[in-house]
Amino acid sequence: MRFLYPFSFWLLSLLPFLWLCYIWSWNQKRKWLKDFGNISWSWRRLRIHLPISLGLISSILALSRPQYAQQVTYLSREGIDLVCGIDVSPSMLAEDVTPPKKALIGSLWDGRKTYPSSFLLYPSGKETPVLPNRLQRVKQAVYDLTQILQGERIALFLFSSRSSKILSLSSDYNSLRFYLDFYLDSYHISARGTDLKTAINLGTSMFQEDSRYKVLVLFSDGEMEEEDALKKAVEASQSAWLNEKVRIYTFGVGSEQSVLIPIRNQQGEIGGYLKDGKGNFVRTQASPASLIQIAQAGGGQFYSLGAYSSDTSIDKAVLQFMENVLAHAQDLKTIQKTRTEYRDLFPHLLLLALGLLSGKSLISETLKLITGTLKLITGKRG
């Protein structure tokens, strides 16, 4: 048993003061009734305050967020390390990803229950759907990847014209999902351009010495502004595969047709379209051919992220990717492990507290009824 907020226990010190108030109030009433007509006032009447006290104790315990430990057994695959790099250049905000059919008839869609609210295709109070952009499509794919991992370590970094580490190799998939929700939005996109060479070099450096099967996964639209950027990226991919034994896979997203990049506010409304320094509208188009060359040079394979998946199934491209990774990993060990998970008691204590506090009058009336019935039975017997 553990408590997330143990400092809440100081509120228990208020209960003795509360009971002192009860006793003082009872004593004042007893004196008044005695002076008024020599009417007795029993101590038993204090018992009607017990539900309130118990309800307050349950509320305080609920505020402390108690959790009990539970041992969970699961299967874990050891040996495969995945480093995921996500393109966060402005072109990833282009809305050229095909929405699911479900969006045509529903007013709210979040892909699956495990997805965050950032997947909504309809802004609050709006009837016009907002098409998912490339970045949201990548987020869904990485979410799907975390659903099918079984103990493999995974790391995360973001790249555009420069790259930055976000999460080191770890089996904590909840932390990865948290960083996806925090970083993958329009407010964290500023630097223009896509430098896949730098991304490959950073991703390769994030593996550890004990990494056996190294897999680098790049999610991008493949668009690069510099003329020799593709050549440099292919050379970096080939070097990582031949020298570091890092197998590189690429996931492409977006349409090959040229589209504008909308700029939306927090309400989901388009406030304009992205422009360059000269005031011209910036157009973008995906380049899967570039990603195919990079994957082939890195001993991996290219996968295309097509339309959104509107059901609860895992993305087919992600499933095919994982099957390919497992096929190349030899002598892979699957072992049984046990981990400790904590279950929250907060909702149960809260319901108990509400029941006790709201049922005070009910308990009082029930006690009166029982007492009256017993007196009636006793009187008849006498």
Both tokens of 210, joined, read: 């004990």
Q: How far apart are CA 88 and CA 159, in angstroms?
A: 6
Mean pLDDT of the region 177-186: 80
Range of the domain at 36: 2-68+344-381
Q: Is 252 inside a domain boundary?
A: yes
Sign of the torsion angle spanned by Cα atoms 315, 316, 320, 323 = positive
Mean pLDDT of the region 110-129: 41
Same domain, 284 and 206: yes
Same domain, 240 and 301: yes
Q: Is 134 inside a domain boundary?
A: yes
Q: Regarding predicted confidence, which is higher, 48 or 369?
A: 48
Predicted pLDDT of residue 374: 64
Is pLDDT at 3 greater than 60 in this prediction? Answer: yes
Same domain, 101 and 150: yes
Question: pLDDT grade, residue 248 (50/70/90)?
Answer: very high
Q: Is 44 inside a domain boundary?
A: yes
Question: pLDDT grade, residue 191 (50/70/90)?
Answer: low
Is pLDDT at 17 greater than 90 in this prediction? Answer: no
Q: Regarding predicted confidence, which is higher, 284 or 21?
A: 284
For all residues of the chain together, what is the average pLDDT? 78
Q: What is the DSSP secondary-structure string of 176-228?
A: HHHHHHHHSSGGG----S--HHHHHHHHHHTS-TT-SEEEEEEEE-----STT
Question: pLDDT grade, residue 105 (50/70/90)?
Answer: very low
Q: How far apart are CA 25 and CA 270, in angstroms?
A: 64
Predicted pLDDT of residue 85: 95
- Asked if 317 contacts 304 with a C-beta cutoff of 8 angstroms, the reply is yes
Predicted pLDDT of residue 280: 86
CA 278 to chain centre: 40
Same domain, 137 and 57: no
Is pLDDT at 167 greater than 80 in this prediction? Answer: yes
- Asked if 339 contacts 94 with a C-beta cutoff of 8 angstroms, the reply is no
Same domain, 18 and 103: no
Q: How many helices (H) and strands (E) does the chain have?
A: 10, 13
State percent of the chain over pLDDT 90. 23
Predicted pLDDT of residue 366: 54
Same domain, 149 and 254: yes
Q: How far apart are CA 71 and CA 56, in angstroms?
A: 31
Is pLDDT at 114 greater than 60 in this prediction? Answer: no
Q: How many domains does the chain have?
A: 2
Predicted pLDDT of residue 310: 53
Same domain, 33 and 145: no
Same domain, 320 and 233: yes
Is pLDDT at 382 greater than 60 in this prediction? Answer: no
Mean pLDDT of the region 36-48: 61
Q: Which residues contact 243 (CB under 8 A, 6 or more apart)?
A: none
Same domain, 141 and 199: yes
Is pLDDT at 7 greater than 90 in this prediction? Answer: no
Q: Is 339 inside a domain boundary?
A: no
Among the listed ranges 228-232, 250-254, 343-347, which one has the minimum average pLDDT value?
A: 343-347
**Which pTM was predicted?**
0.64
Predicted pLDDT of residue 359: 64
Both tokens of 8, joined, read: 């809440």
Calculate the dihedral angle through the C-alpha atoms of 94, 200, 82, 192, rounding to the nearest 10 degrees: -20
Same domain, 355 and 278: no
> What are 215-244's pLDDT values in tens digits?
999 999 999 878 789 999 999 999 999 999
Domain at 302, CATH number: 3.40.50.410
Question: pLDDT grade, residue 107 (50/70/90)?
Answer: very low
Predicted pLDDT of residue 316: 87
Q: Is 104 inside a domain boundary?
A: yes
> What are 306-326's pLDDT values in tens digits?
766 555 567 889 999 988 888
Q: Is 94 inside a domain boundary?
A: yes
> What are 52-100's pLDDT values in tens digits?
778 888 888 888 888 888 776 655 566 789 999 999 988 888 888 766 5
Q: Is 264 inside a domain boundary?
A: yes
Is pLDDT at 337 greater than 50 in this prediction? Answer: yes
Is pLDDT at 274 greater than 80 in this prediction? Answer: yes
Same domain, 184 and 228: yes
Same domain, 136 and 247: yes
Is pLDDT at 112 greater than 70 in this prediction? Answer: no
Predicted pLDDT of residue 127: 43
Q: Is 337 inside a domain boundary?
A: no
